[in-house]
Amino acid sequence: MSLRHLRAIVRKEINHIVRDRTTLILVMLTPTAMLFLMAYALTVDIEHVPIAVLDYDRAPTSRAFVRRVTEGDDLDLYAQVDSLDDVNRLLMQGKIKAALVVGAAFERDLLSLRGMDLQVVIDGTEPKTGGFAVDHIGGQAEAFVGELLADQLQTLGVSLDSLQPIDLRVRALYNPDLKPRVDMVPGLISMVLGFPALSVALTLAHEREHGTLEQVLVTPAGRAEFLLGKMIPYAIVGLANVIAIPALARVTFHIPFNGSFALFFLLSAIFLFAILGMGMVVGVFMRTQPAALALSFLVIFFPGFFLTGIFFPIVAMPEEMRLEALGLPGTHYAIITRGVFLPGVGLDVLWPYVVMLIGLGLAFTAVAVLFFRKKLG
């Protein structure tokens, strides 16, 4: 391999990136913009869910429980209604997402330790919002009963703790508040850094489509030199995003970064090598830009969305899907980003995923080099 030939291809590609505004925006600004948009769109914290309350008891205890449930920012009391027909009407109109129904014997049953007569009606068209309301009401009910029993037992000289043989304490490491955004944003980095791969595929297809590729092939540059020369400028641009994206995650979304940035930068370069090799394979086999764009989304982005473990746990997937996920660079890089960002682990933990990224990068690049001239025929 001639470094002079490689340098010439790299220089040519850098000039193309700088002169072509579309390509420059795609590789420089799109990853950061997409992370910003996806982090807000996909990791929204549910708050201010409108609910209605149907209190058949209307006793001091039931009113105190309703106040307990609706205080704070989680659930907003939209209306107090008089019948289930009113509940159904508000749900049909979309004005509420859930309703709390308090039984007529709520206070009597609770004070006599016979339970809590409660019902929660939710809007099944938005199960996540309704499920959030159920979880919130259930947690508040448990706390309300605990406080009420503590007051009653205190008058009898009995401690509530003495009646609870199990002392269960839950600790959430690395994400104490269990905020979805803290887990999601590091994983999303593996998706947004895939845009340079899309640019590589489109650029290669563009040159073939407009006849400029054949002009380059008559030069002394070999297949490997040409493809590596194509990849290197996009890798450099991708590494610029590797610097900007953690800063955005830290400042805008308050995502902790507990690992080594030097290690993160190095492993991101390896990921870019793998994902750019994947994009090069797409560009080698596609003759037009629309076809390259469509195949890039089918091969790189759609599987990266569903199979890399960002949104759905890999362990819950069928075996065939797990095997397919292992062939995606984003699967291993998502584990790396979460490991470096949150617990701050090092190569002693992440080395298997690094090895997989290197193997995938070598495999994709070899396939691209092998089939490059055959496709030009």
Q: What is the largest CA-CA distance in the chain?
A: 95
Domain ranges of the chain: 3-42+179-376, 49-163
What's the rounded Cα separation, in Å, for the pair 140 and 81?
21
Phi, psi angle pair for 315, to nearest 5°: -65, -20
Tens of pLDDT, residues 125-141 = 878 888 888 888 888 88
DSSP assignment of 155-185:
HHT--SGGG---------SS-TT--HHHHHH
The confidence score (pLDDT) of residue 316 equals 79
Cα–Cα nearest to 22, from 251, 293, 221: 293
- Compute CA distances 339 → 192, 219, 312, whole Å: 18, 45, 17
If you average pLDDT over residues 318-327, what whole number do you get?
Answer: 88
Tens of pLDDT, residues 239-272 = 988 988 888 888 888 888 999 999 999 999 999 9
What's the rounded Cα separation, in Å, for the pair 300 and 282?
9
3 state SS of 303? helix
Q: Enumerate the H helices of 29-100 as residue ranges.
A: 30-42, 60-70, 84-92
What is the amino acid identity at position 210? H
Q: Does 3 or 137 have the greater pLDDT score?
A: 137
Q: Does 286 or 273 have the greater pLDDT score?
A: 273
| Helix, strand, coil shares, percent, the chain, to 5 | 70, 5, 25
Record the tokens describing residue 171, joined without a space: 């600790």
Percent above pLDDT 90 for the chain: 27
Q: Does 158 or 80 have the greater pLDDT score?
A: 80
Tens of pLDDT, residues 188-225 = 888 888 888 888 888 888 777 766 666 666 666 677 77
Residue 229 has pLDDT above 60, yes or no: yes
What CATH class is the domain 49-163?
alpha beta
- Residue 239 CA from chain centroid, whole number: 21
Tens of pLDDT, residues 63-113 = 999 999 998 888 999 999 999 999 999 988 889 999 999 999 888 888 777
What's the rounded Cα separation, in Å, for the pair 292 and 236?
22
Report residue 374's pLDDT band, with 50, 70 and 90 as the boundaries.
very low
Residue 173 has pLDDT above 90, yes or no: no
The confidence score (pLDDT) of residue 165 equals 53
Residue 360 has pLDDT above 90, yes or no: yes
Report residue 375's pLDDT band, with 50, 70 and 90 as the boundaries.
very low
Q: What mean pLDDT is reported for the chain?
A: 83
H or E element: which one contains 154?
helix 127-156
What is the amino acid identity at position 299? V
The confidence score (pLDDT) of residue 73 equals 85
Least trusted range by pLDDT, from 48-57, 155-164, 202-211, 350-359: 155-164
Burial class (CB in 10 A: 0-12, 13-18, 19+), 371: middle
The confidence score (pLDDT) of residue 322 equals 87
